[in-house]
Amino acid sequence: MGLFIKVEPGVKVYVEDLNPGGCKTIVFLHGWPASHRMFEYQFDQLPKRGYRCIGIDQRGFGNSDKPWTGYAYDTLADDVRGVVEALDLHGFVLAGHSTGGAIAIRYMARHKGYGVSKLALCAAAAPSLIQRPYFPHGQTREAVLKIIQDTYSNRPEMLRGFGDMFFYQHTTQAFADWFFQMGLQAAGWSTIAVATSWLDEERLFEDLGKIHVPTLILHGIHDKVCFFPLAIAQNEGIENSLLIPFKYSGHGLFYDERDKFNKELIQFTEEG
């Protein structure tokens, strides 16, 4: 079931709500520059196991409205809160991939984990996607600036290159085209604005210590976007967290090792 939820005057985000009568709820936050559709290989399986799966298209991406402003992590986390309140969600698992993982962390800190019973971070872009003087593990600032410039000059070519580094396992041309089209569905300005947030956002380091629910960290050891040391930093910064390395995955572990990904997420959801 697809629906639009108003998160602020003039802005609605698209939500895919699968199996609303499910026994347990998992809310999925997608990574840049995709949409809820990136979790197709979870949505194909988890509802059959009795789970309610909710995929949110962040503003500027997928089917959501694409306003000119509002792409800082605080606002994106507030959008999630708007969806949670509109659907009256309680006791759910919040699962975020890449930038969606960063937004999930900000949601936990900014909204004190409202409604969340457990957190799943999947190749999360946290505590910093880029290198900083005190954190040498991310992408260079120059690499992100190049992504931004390439988006301005030739967004389709930028998306092709990003897609080529996303997965570790072989993908077919048809699959690459499908993934590429997801990126094209976003607005150019929102694609740029979120990438700019990677450069400016440093508060996730302190946000990690504000997470007080069981946390699962899934991360591919071959990740070329959010390098594996980011997962180690998350594990060290979040109490009651468990890190599970994916030995045959890159950034797209939700597809590279989709059976393992689904198994670990189901097991985590069921525990306790």
Q: Find residue 16's DSSP bridge partners.
A: 2, 55
The yes-or-no answer on residue 98 being catalytic is yes
Which H or E run includes 266?
Answer: helix 258-270
Q: Who contacts 58 (Cβ-Cβ below 8 Å, separation ≥6)?
A: 13, 29, 30, 64, 76, 79, 100, 103, 194
Among 132, 122, 121, CA closest to 201: 132
Beta strands in 126-254, from DSSP E residues, in sequence order:
215-220, 241-246
How many CB atoms neighbour CB 99 within 10 A? 30
Rounded to whole angstroms, how far apart are CA atoms 28 and 35? 10
Q: Point out the catalytic residue in the list 36, 97, 137, 251.
A: 251
Angle of the 73-86 helix axis to the 99-110 helix axis, nearest 10? 70
How many CB atoms neighbour CB 136 within 10 A? 8
Q: Point out the catalytic residue in the list 35, 64, 98, 128.
A: 98
The yes-or-no answer on residue 251 being catalytic is yes
Q: Point out the catalytic residue in the list 223, 241, 249, 256.
A: 223
Beta strands in the chain, from DSSP E residues, in sequence order:
2-8, 11-18, 24-29, 51-56, 92-97, 116-122, 215-220, 241-246
The yes-or-no answer on residue 190 being catalytic is no
Cα angle value 209/222/233 (rounded, 5°): 15
Q: Which residues are catalytic?
A: 98, 223, 251
